[in-house]
Amino acid sequence: MSVGPLSQKLFATAKELIPGGVNSPVRAFRNVGGEPFFVRRAKGSRIEDIDGKTYIDYIGSWGPNILGHAPTVVTNTIHEVAKNGVSFGIPNPFEVEMARTITEWVPSCEKVRMTNSGTESTMSAIRLARGFTKRDLIVKFDGCYHGHSDSLLVAAGSGALTYGEPDSAGVPADFAKNTLVLPYNDPEALTSLFEEKGELIAAIIVESYPANAGFVLPRPGYLDLLTRITKKFGALLIFDEVMTGFRLGKAGVQGLEGITPDLSCFGKVIGGGLPVGAFGGRADVMDLLAPLGPVYQAGTLSGNPLAMAAGLAQLKQLAGNGALASAAESPNGYDRLDQLGQHFETGLRALLEEKGVPHRLNRVGSMFCLFFTDREIVNVSDVMKQDLEFFKKFFWGCLEKGIYLAPSPYETGFLSLAHTEADLDDTLGVFGEVLGRI
Ligand code: PMP
């Protein structure tokens, strides 16, 4: 249950210099009771660590690398654009092209502003919703993660959930009391909260498909209810599509589900692996942002030419042919990703049945999450009841055999256009072997 000697040595040094040895908590592998490997390089579906071991990767930098690692269209673009300068702090044409692409692909976004991370996007969208409605309260759902801004680090998922400390120290109670938390997929709890406090609520923020406490899907009608109830009470609906946006289709979950949120947040895929976020929505709301309106929001590196160009190159590739399939087999990247997802799901279900492993498997397109439990997964409390010891053994067994899954049972897995059916079949072979041993 350990990584190679060079990774171990470097992690020992890292721990002396960086808190916990990492720059983002979930990377530390604490939830699987171990230490991380360090990456030397990555290409396509593969990562190579500094000890020379290679892995098939199912994380893709936690979502951004939808074409696989270091896709030539993105790396060539970065090289070319960098020759003309890497940051200006003056408007550049790529920003306008990015805004045009986002507003064309996502019809609910009439206007959009770029940021440098998903956290900045959700934080800014919340401020904007409060400024627009002149109300303070926001509603979020237990286990949904929206980045690490103060308002949103309440009952959060992802790394915060992993360590069993959903509320961070350093967030004033006075501040957190403006964040109301509800169980997900519970229409009665939502309705009664709005009946009691609806006139004071600025916004509901929701992960379009919650994917930071496992991967949980909305019950039929639930997303419609969020739309109707916010409209009725004059609150805004903020769709956090940082993970799902541009991954599950050109218009993300809102496109799949036919929902028109007031504001949407993006990140990950739109940056092509560089640090990017965005938020957009109704023009009348967005126009409240400075310099037009009173809601302040800014960023030295926002709209950075390298990040915009890298993201645009990635999006164009996605909208065109899937990287590896012929046009006849796959009219666009999203269809190809779904083909791969379907292939993986079919094989995985058959394998788990054959081995008699209690499980639930949620998959949409290229996102998946396997739960080692046979209870229905409705919200975070179901997710927390799965067999964690079993997951740990599974994780380390797979890692040893060169399959890199998220080092936490609460994270979602990602496929990329660089994965092939052969990669997936090899992975299922390893799963079978590891499950046979546990
Ligand atoms: N929202 C969601 C749904 C996310 O999954 C994440 C990150 N995993 C964020 C917001 C925060 O994004 P970032 O890490 O880029 O700040």
In the chain, domain spans: 5-71+323-437, 72-317
Task: Determine the atom of ligand 1 nearest the C-alpha atom of 117.
Answer: 15
| Contacts for 62 with CB less than 8 Å, ≥ 6 apart | 268, 411, 414
Q: Looking at ligand 1, which residue's alpha carbon is closest to its atom 7? A: 147
The CATH-assigned architecture of domain 72-317 is 3-Layer(aba) Sandwich (3.40)
Q: Is the CB of 145 under 6 A from ligand 1?
A: yes
Q: How far apart are CA 145 and CA 208, in angstroms?
A: 11
145 is catalytic: yes
> Rounded to whole angstroms, how far apart are CA atoms 278 and 267?
6
Question: Helix, strand, or coil here: 321?
Answer: coil
Question: Is-catalytic flag, 184?
Answer: no
Return per-residue pLDDT of the chain as tens, 438 residues.
789 999 999 999 999 999 999 999 999 999 899 999 999 999 999 999 999 999 999 999 999 999 999 999 999 999 999 999 999 999 999 999 999 999 999 999 999 999 999 999 999 999 999 999 999 999 999 999 999 999 888 877 766 654 444 468 888 888 888 999 999 999 999 999 999 999 999 999 999 999 999 999 999 999 999 999 999 999 999 999 999 999 999 999 999 999 999 999 999 999 999 999 999 999 999 999 999 999 999 999 999 999 999 999 999 999 885 444 444 455 689 999 999 999 999 999 999 999 999 999 999 999 999 999 988 888 888 888 888 899 999 999 999 999 999 999 889 999 999 999 999 999 999 999 999 999
**Amino acid letter, residue 243:** M
- CA pair distance 247, 241, nearest whole angstrom: 9
Q: Is 224 a catalytic residue?
A: no
Q: Write the DSSP assignment of 229-276 as a string of letters.
A: HHHHHTPEEEEE-TTTTTTSSTTHHHHHHT---SEEEE-GGGGTTSS-
**118 Cβ closer than 6 Å to some ligand 1 atom:** yes
Q: Whose CA is nearest to atom 10 of ligand 1?
A: 146
Q: What is the ipTM of this complex?
A: 0.99
Q: Are 97 and 308 in contact (CB under 8 A)?
A: yes
Shortest-distance atom of ligand 1 to CA 144: 3
pTM of the entire structure?
Answer: 0.96
Continuous segment of H or E residues that includes residue 55: strand 54-57
Helix, strand, coil distribution of the chain in percent, nearest 5: 45, 15, 40
Contact in structure between 240 and 140 (CB atoms under 8 Å): no
Euclidean distance between the first and the last CA atom of the chain, given in angstroms as a whole number: 14
392 lines ligand 1 (CB under 6 A): no
Ligand 1 neighbourhood includes 212 CB (under 6 angstroms): yes
Nearest to 322 by CA among 434, 424, 420, 404: 420
3-class SS string, 110-166? CEEEEECCHHHHHHHHHHHHHHHHCCCEEEEECCCCCCCCHHHCCCCCHHHHHCCCC
How far apart CA 110 and CA 89 sit, in angstroms, is: 24
Q: Write the residue with the smallest CA distance to atom 13 of ligand 1.
A: 118
Q: Is the CB of 241 under 6 A from ligand 1?
A: no
* CB proximity list for 298: less than 8 A, separation 6 or greater: 290
Torsion region of 356: left, alpha or beta (phi above 0 gives left; psi -120 to 50 gives alpha)? left
CATH code of the region 5-71+323-437: 3.90.1150.10
Q: Of 242, 246, 264, which is best to mutate to test ligand 1, by the most ligand atoms within 8 angstroms of its C-beta?
A: 242
CA of 159 to the centre of ligand 1 (A): 11
